[in-house]
Structure 1
């Protein structure tokens, strides 16, 4: 089988397609949560912290200055507010995915009254035959 045939077989597997769908849906979901954090959560946190946007929080190491030629020299700052905002974004995405998977696994839980698999029945017969 040539490389193209192997590639077609690889793509035709259900798990690869499921993974691709999961990645696309996950990316779209990440955008939704980012919009939630940027548009609702962080403005509320900013208001509680005195009206300053969290993404603007920074530690200025060297303030903006003007050199001898009159050109502006940009400030050097550690923008830790962006990190905090991104961490909150990540935690919300992780929490929602956790809740979703927990509900999904609860729905997929196998029925306790289902008959055992054929392999289990055969192994039980072998075990019982060996006991005699």
Structure 2
């Protein structure tokens, strides 16, 4: 059971996914700060300096439409930035590689390949002892 978990964790995709989640969370904080620091003051400036009251009541129940609008703006900015800064360039690179304009990444050097094989053999031997 422990070996299966170790194999699962050591796969490259899991590590890449974890890094993506952490970077996404940090990026979300950046977009939220941008919204609060620049967009909300800009909206306040356009509205004549008034505090934008974004609530209304129905039978004493408060609806905060401004909070929802802020979340929509934050989502749209996050999605647009991720698309234009990460997805679009990666798609362009994949297209160039498919057309042969961009060289494939180089294979590791012979010494690196040999060291990798030695590491794999040592790991396999260690697993047999456990």
TM-score normalised by length of structure 2: 0.68
Whole-angstrom CA distance in 2 between matches of 1:90 and 1:20: 20
Alpha-carbon displacement from aligned partner over 1:14-70 (angstroms, at most 9, x marks no partner): 00000000000010001001100111011101221232344x3111336xxxxxxxx
Higher relative contact order (Cα pairs below 8 Å, separated by 6+ residues)? 1
Query: Is residue 2:93 matched to residue 1:107?
Result: yes
Q: Per the alignment, in what secondary structure is the counterpart of residue 28 of structure 2?
A: helix
The RMSD of aligned alpha carbons is 1.9
Q: Per the alignment, in what secondary structure is the counterpart of residue 99 of structure 2?
A: coil
Unaligned runs of 5+ in 2: 102-130
Name the counterpart of 1:117. Answer: none
TM-score normalised by length of structure 1: 0.67
Aligned length: 99
From the superposition, tell whether residues 113 and 105 of structure 1 become closer, same or farther in structure 2 (CA, over 3 Å): closer
Deviation at 1:111, TM superposition (A): 4.5
Whole-angstrom CA distance in 2 between matches of 1:29 and 1:15: 20
The equivalent position to 2:19 in structure 1, one of 18, 21, 25, is 21
Q: Per the alignment, in what secondary structure is the counterpart of residue 58 of structure 2?
A: strand
From the superposition, tell whether residues 113 and 92 of structure 1 become closer, same or farther in structure 2 (CA, over 3 Å): closer
Unaligned runs of 5+ in 1: 63-74, 115-132
From the superposition, tell whether residues 13 and 38 of structure 1 become closer, same or farther in structure 2 (CA, over 3 Å): same
